[in-house]
Amino acid sequence: MKSKVLLPICLLFAAITRGQDSAGAILTQDDLKLYPLLWQQNAAEYRALCYQAFNIAGMRVDEALQKNPGKTNLAIITDLDETILDNSEIESEIIKYKTKLTYNKWMAWLRKSSIPAVPGGVEFLQSAAKKGISIYYISNREIKGLEITIGILQKLGLPDADSAHVMLVTDVFSKGPRIQSVMDHHNVILLLGDNLNDFIPVFENKNIGDRFKETDRIKKEWGRKFIVLPNAAYGEWENALYDYKDSLSEAQKVKVLKSKLKAVE
């Protein structure tokens, strides 16, 4: 039974190494995102990892309150997409119906009546806010979608969902300056994200080896001040695979992926 379950995954990885599917067509990025998105939407393991992350975050909040009794300037900084908001449906729509993610399609998705939250995120932030901690949402969504994004957060019942606490991209894509602006006026006890760029700028535009080195250098912070949520579908790690070369064709990308696979010689 186990071999039958694993067979589709094995076939996918075999296809990656060949750069083609069983019909001989070049694999696309959408093909390669199929299993990560299925995992995010259907694996209880994904939900368990999310609950685990927020449970640890809750313990860190209680520890910070014990160490800082009476302080009123404590804050949490969190990313939005795949950290608090689950966007897998729009990613899946692209694959399922073979469409492209356009600006209009993305805005239509944002205007949906219900966008799901990442398991455990709403409850965690509500609990932290009740304990007197300010919540700041720092996302690389475009600033022109600010009102829509605030509406989504308010509908989910998230605290501090207003223009003073939701900080989107204006002219600087890096989150570093926005994070620092919060730190200038608050004691930030936690940062949450699914992408290492959500924590410190040192990870931006770095190759795989350098990202590993920086991750190891601050290994004591993971699970302490930095809480990472699972996201296997997209992120800076994917850009690093291609050395940040946006112009690669699908065939070239598959070739790169094959070269990155570590296997027994």
Parent domain of 128: 47-253
Q: Domain of 249: which CATH number?
A: 3.40.50.1000
Does the residue 59 lie in any domain? yes
Does the residue 154 lie in any domain? yes
Contacts of 61 (CB under 8 A, 6+ apart): 76, 127, 128, 131, 133, 189, 190
pLDDT tens string 190-205: 999 999 999 999 999 9
Euclidean distance between CA atoms 93 and 84, whole angstroms: 20
Does the residue 23 lie in any domain? no
Strands (E), the chain: 74-78, 134-142, 166-169, 187-193, 226-228
Q: Read off the pLDDT band of 3 (50, 70, 90).
A: very low
> Does 19 have pLDDT greater than 80?
no
Does the residue 26 lie in any domain? no
pLDDT tens string 124-159: 999 999 999 999 999 999 999 999 999 999 999 999
CA atoms within 13 A on the CB side of 58: 15
Q: Read off the pLDDT band of 2 (50, 70, 90).
A: very low
Q: What is the DSSP letter of 153?
A: H
The string of DSSP codes covering 169-232 is: ESS---SHHHHHHHHTTSEEEEEEESSGGGT-GGGTT--HHHHHHHHHHTGGGBTTTEEEPP--
Average confidence (pLDDT) over 95-123: 88
> Does 18 have pLDDT greater than 60?
no
Does the residue 155 lie in any domain? yes
User: Distances from the Cα of 70 to the Cαs of 66, 74, 127, 181, 190, in angstroms?
Assistant: 9, 10, 17, 23, 18
Does the residue 258 lie in any domain? no
Mean pLDDT of the chain: 89
> Does 57 have pLDDT greater than 80?
yes
Q: In Å, how far from its chain's centre is CA 145?
A: 18
The answer to whether residues 90 and 105 touch, using CB atoms and an 8 Å cutoff, is: yes
> Does 95 have pLDDT greater than 70?
yes
Q: What is the pLDDT of residue 43?
A: 98
Q: What is the pLDDT of residue 1?
A: 43
Euclidean distance between CA atoms 40 and 37, whole angstroms: 5
Pairwise pLDDT comparison (31 vs 116), residue with the higher score? 116
Q: What is the pLDDT of residue 27?
A: 63
Q: Read off the pLDDT band of 56 (50, 70, 90).
A: very high
pTM above 0.85?
Answer: yes
Does the residue 62 lie in any domain? yes
Does the residue 28 lie in any domain? no
Q: What is the pLDDT of residue 13?
A: 52
Q: Which of 190, 61, 68 is nearest to 130 (CA)?
A: 61
Lookup result for tokens 């239509």: 108
> Does 22 have pLDDT greater than 70?
no
List the Cα angle 15/20/25 in 5-degree steps.
140
Take residue 241 and report the two structure tokens written for it. Answer: 């695979």
Q: What is the DSSP letter of 75?
A: E
- Domain count of the chain? 1
% residues pLDDT > 90 (the chain): 69
